[in-house]
Structure 1
């Protein structure tokens, strides 16, 4: 039976690359993001195994509805990639913008929690896999970085969730990249990690045999 992967932040960058990699590997893919035009274009490119769901993942009800749509379309849910995230334009604490912190925390932290909460009942049925995008910034300290602090949460949460999912045979993996050449940055970074590099790591994790649980994959640019 064909497996199904739900991806948040699927319209560009790492999410889109993972959708392509999963479809190539024979998975169904549910694509979640706010950018309907980009989602529809990606779904058309991938074909019948793709479902595009316009979704603000900071809206708990919308996330639950997206999970329900995915299960209705494909018959189940085997893996989730909570990839949506953002940074801030104004760095630091003293000179930082609390409104930016508010929006970032809702996307980088609460949206991950909402995605896990909505998908775990389905992942329990399939002994499924929850994957989340962490960061090098979630493993090291960066001067005054609130973004880094949100990723420290993600890394801690992933470890805790792995222990919870282990009770029913499920798995959780945090993908921890250094700098990746994505629209997250204003200027292209061709010498850094590529979205496809991270997508390959996600697929490596979710296609492990049942006896193997990859808790973390840490990637760095080879420059």
Structure 2
């Protein structure tokens, strides 16, 4: 039984599901966390006994704590956690934006990252573990009125701060920052943009880098 265990939020589709598939192929056990139990179970059926279905809401700290505890009970420990869950907005900008939608997005994109880090940290300390955060090209530049982009600026800033904090116990934090990715995040397919597998390969590269090497950020952009 592999001792490597990776907990993934937003695991039911897109980047999260692609990372789970690649991690399992590399010998990791994966904890699949998302709201959609049916999608998680379908993915786990595909991945086999290295996958654990952990339904829950990323905006609820207790859901994440409970899921990680269940995962650790099955695997014996936690080597990495991927705070990947995120959402966008239907209306861009400040004047046209929907405050209720902002509140929901902040709960997912900011609090969801904080809750994942908070819940995982005690377990990661035991194994000099690794945190991955899904950032974005939108968190590295200014976009007119973008509240979504501002939420990703938080991820980039917090990820750098986590890197400093985790050095205290030999841990690492990596921000995976893609440009446009062809995922269900968008209503229309984007076949010429990055694919979830591209982002998954970046995530697993960071995880499997030598412990002496802290990969603080991987920034991916589509060539087209």
Question: TM (normalized to structure 2)?
Answer: 0.99
Residue in 2 aligned with 1:97?
98
Residue in 1 aligned with 2:133?
132
Could you say what secondary structure the match of 1:51 adopts? strand
Deviation per CA, 1:92-125, whole angstroms, max 9, x where unpaired?
A: 1012100000000000000100000000000000
Deviation per CA, 1:144-176, whole angstroms, max 9, x where unpaired?
A: 000000000000000000000011000000000
Distance in 2, matches of 1:155 and 1:21, equals 24
Q: How does 1:160-175 map to 2 (within 5 A)?
A: 160-175=161-176
Q: Does 1:206 align with 2:215?
A: no
Distance in 1, matches of 2:190 and 2:89, equals 19
Residue in 2 aligned with 1:67?
68
Distance in 2, matches of 1:57 and 1:41, equals 20
Q: Does 1:222 align with 2:220?
A: no
Asked whether the 8 Å contact 1:4–1:29 carries over to 2, the reply is: yes
Distance in 1, matches of 2:108 and 2:148, equals 11
Asked whether the 8 Å contact 2:3–2:77 carries over to 1, the reply is: no
Could you say what secondary structure the match of 2:32 adopts? strand
Deviation per CA, 1:154-209, whole angstroms, max 9, x where unpaired?
A: 00000000000011000000000000000000100010000000000000000011
Q: Does 1:52 align with 2:47?
A: no
Could you say what secondary structure the match of 1:81 adopts? strand
Asked whether the 8 Å contact 1:2–1:26 carries over to 2, the reply is: no
Q: How does 1:1-223 map to 2 (within 5 A)?
A: 1-223=2-224
Q: How many residues align?
A: 223
Asked whether the 8 Å contact 2:166–2:173 carries over to 1, the reply is: yes
Any gaps of 5 or more consecutive residues in structure 2? none
Any gaps of 5 or more consecutive residues in structure 1? none
Asked whether the 8 Å contact 1:5–1:28 carries over to 2, the reply is: yes
Asked whether the 8 Å contact 2:3–2:76 carries over to 1, the reply is: no
Could you say what secondary structure the match of 1:167 adopts? helix
Asked whether the 8 Å contact 2:179–2:220 carries over to 1, the reply is: yes
Distance in 2, matches of 1:24 and 1:2, equals 14
Could you say what secondary structure the match of 1:181 adopts? coil
Task: Flag as ranges the 4+ runs of structure 1 deviating above 2 A.
Answer: none
CA RMSD of aligned residues (A): 0.5
Could you say what secondary structure the match of 2:192 adopts? coil
Distance in 2, matches of 1:14 and 1:2, equals 23
Question: TM (normalized to structure 1)?
Answer: 0.99
Could you say what secondary structure the match of 1:80 adopts? strand
Distance in 1, matches of 2:129 and 2:165, equals 12
